[in-house]
Chains A and B, each alone.
Chain A
Amino acid sequence: MKKYILDLTVRTVERISPKHVLIRLTDDKPLPEMVPGQFVEVRVDGSATTFLRRPISINFVDREQNELWLMVAMVGDGTRRLGELKAGDKLNCVLPLGNGFLFQSDRIALHKALLVGGGVGVAPLLYLGAQMKEQGMEPTFLLGARTASDLLMLDEFKKYGRVCVTTEDGSEGEKGFVTNHSLLQQEHFDMIYTCGPTPMMKAVARYAKEKDIECEASLENLMACGLGACLCCVEKTTEGNLCVCKDGPVFNIKKLLWQN
């Protein structure tokens, strides 16, 4: 898939939680081909402490509106700057990067998929779920957060499948972590996709292994280049050190050396 450096135009910046914004970007030309699970390296201007680009998951691609959506958690000065963007501002993006989730093969497409996300890690699952629905699948989303106000874009997720929720304080959905949700005991899934905090993904991977379910996890190791050139973001795998930016960010959990 061809990669581009584009100055995209900010259409809207919407506050979707106290700590998160949704940035909708557009361009004069049709946006490049992108697949769920890929990411964008954005340049952050005007932040003295932000030297490198920031990798941000592709949250959604709206072809009708020619929009690329990025969900940003404002954790440091650089991401706070992104949250301060205004309509009409330019955002320099290198995209699309990484491999994406595997879901289009006939073998998998027929099956029942569970998409498990936590925190800002829910971001790539929206586009994945939307693409699955477009191909006739019915994804189930299992989304976790600390508290109700941290649950992100639930109404959007509901457009593409059933949504189950957990919060650590019980303020919405079932109380506890995603892996405690009753759904996991009641139903069988053939494929699990997960993105979120590493402890959560490891717990999901443990569940998938116990039940012998295929599982893909999207990692977010610290990156510099995003292109597989600097070898900074490596993850230990059955094939040695692989770049999360180029060989990932999505890995089948069988390839990862996570200790369970």
Chain B
Amino acid sequence: MAKLNVNIGALSLKNPVMTASGTFGYGLEFADFMPLDGIGGIIVKGTTLKPREGNDYPRMAETASGMLNCVGLQNKGVDYFCEHIYPQIKDIDTNMIVNVSGSSPEDYAECAARIDALEKIPAIELNISCPNVKDGGMAFGVTCAGASSVVKAVRQAYHKTLIVKLSPNVTDITEIARAVEAEGADSVSLINTLMGMAIDIEKRKKVLSIGTGGLSGPAVKPVALRMVYQVAKAVKIPVVGLGGISTAKDAIEFLMCGATAIEIGTANFLDPAVSIKVRDGINDWLDQHGCQSVEEIIGVV
């Protein structure tokens, strides 16, 4: 049994496997299928200061080895989260991390400040990369100045581990990563979804209600892996890798490219117990290859 624990700043993970925001609900939806405390962290659904209805249906299109979504951050707002959801999840024995989104730096900071007060939430993941909302989201994540402004505001309001989730829809993701590192981010996670489209040829119309959506699933893995590799070389803070991970082999590729931890997203839809299997698969691989600790393979490529 290899040592699987890793650290992201001050955050200790019992193993490097987490579930990605928007693909695992609040964890509770998956409790019948796997022990929630068996993974290193659960990043819950994107939360905003005010409630959001999200975009109209249709919000999803199946693609080759993946899917597009344009959910648009539907959530009941941070106050509802604190009052109704937090009490249900606070005793799950793993890192319960909240994904935070907003439409202005002040918005993000206010939302983060309210979550700062929750004792059992040790970290937030700042979403500056949602491609499906007009006001904010990815708008901040595609320029260094925008990314810096949000991280700066949040860093003043939030005192625990701050992970910033980056958009792949940029010319050079390493620049954005360096910019948020300079503003005090403890970690970066990447990639969020790649912007895409789908057309219904019989109706001669766009499939998704807002026309475009974010692509996820195995289709994006090579892109994600390349970006994780580049960013891990460009920054000193730990990198969390995600994008199309569905097996232990996928996860190990990300770890070897320099990710300290990984997130599993769309694969949860295909196998609701996949994250435990990835954890076990990483352990088995390490044992088979005589590794004492997962840290031995991080960034070896």
A residues neighboring B (CB under 8 Å): 2-5, 43, 48-53, 94, 221-236, 240-241, 246
Contact with A along B33-44 (1 / 0, CB 8 A): 100000000000
Taking the complex as formed, is B58 at the interface, i.e. its CB lies under 8 A from any CB of chain A? yes
B54, A241: Cβ atoms under 8 Å? yes
Can you report 5 residue pairs joining A to B where beta carbons are below 8 Å apart? A227-B30, A230-B60, A232-B59, A240-B53, A241-B54
A230, B22: Cβ atoms under 8 Å? yes
B25, A228: Cβ atoms under 8 Å? yes
Please name all residues of chain A whose beta carbon is closer than 8 Å to the beta carbon of B69 when the two chains form the complex: 224, 230, 232
Please name all residues of chain A whose beta carbon is closer than 8 Å to the beta carbon of B270 when the two chains form the complex: 43, 51-53
Please name all residues of chain A whose beta carbon is closer than 8 Å to the beta carbon of B32 when the two chains form the complex: 2-4
Taking the complex as formed, is B300 at the interface, i.e. its CB lies under 8 A from any CB of chain A? no
B29, A229: Cβ atoms under 8 Å? yes
B272, A231: Cβ atoms under 8 Å? no
Q: In this complex, what residue of A is CB-closest to B27?
A: A229
Q: Which of A51, A230, A241, A246 contacts B53 (CB 8 A)?
A: A241
Q: In this complex, what residue of A is CB-closest to B63?
A: A51
Indicate the member of A3, A49, A226, A234 with the most B CB atoms within 10 Å. A234
Please name all residues of chain B whose beta carbon is closer than 8 Å to the beta carbon of A224 when the two chains form the complex: 60, 67, 69, 266, 269
A232, B60: Cβ atoms under 8 Å? yes
Q: In this complex, what residue of B is CB-closest to A3?
A: B32
A5, B23: Cβ atoms under 8 Å? no
B24, A229: Cβ atoms under 8 Å? yes
How far does the alpha carbon of A10 sit from the alpha carbon of B46 in the complex, in Å? 40
How far does the alpha carbon of A48 sit from the alpha carbon of B268 in the complex, in Å? 19
How far does the alpha carbon of A223 sit from the alpha carbon of B56 in the complex, in Å? 14
Please name all residues of chain A whose beta carbon is closer than 8 Å to the beta carbon of B33 when the two chains form the complex: 3-5, 94
B67 to chain A, nearest CB (A): 6
Beyond A224-B60, A224-B67, is A5–B271 a contact (Cβ under 8 Å)?
A: yes
Please name all residues of chain B whose beta carbon is closer than 8 Å to the beta carbon of A53 when the two chains form the complex: 269-270
How far does the alpha carbon of A5 sit from the alpha carbon of B71 in the complex, in Å? 26
Q: In this complex, what residue of A is CB-closest to B66?
A: A51
Taking the complex as formed, is B74 at the interface, i.e. its CB lies under 8 A from any CB of chain A? yes
6 new A-B contacts, CB < 8 A, other than A5-B273, A230-B71, are: A48-B64, A222-B58, A226-B269, A229-B268, A231-B22, A234-B74
Q: Which of B45, B65, B74, B272 contacts A94 (CB 8 A)?
A: B272
Indicate the member of A48, A49, A224 with the most B CB atoms within 10 Å. A224
Please name all residues of chain A whose beta carbon is closer than 8 Å to the beta carbon of B63 when the two chains form the complex: 51
B59, A234: Cβ atoms under 8 Å? yes
Q: Which 8 A-B pairs have the closest CB atoms?
A: A232-B60, A229-B25, A225-B269, A3-B32, A227-B29, A232-B59, A231-B71, A224-B269
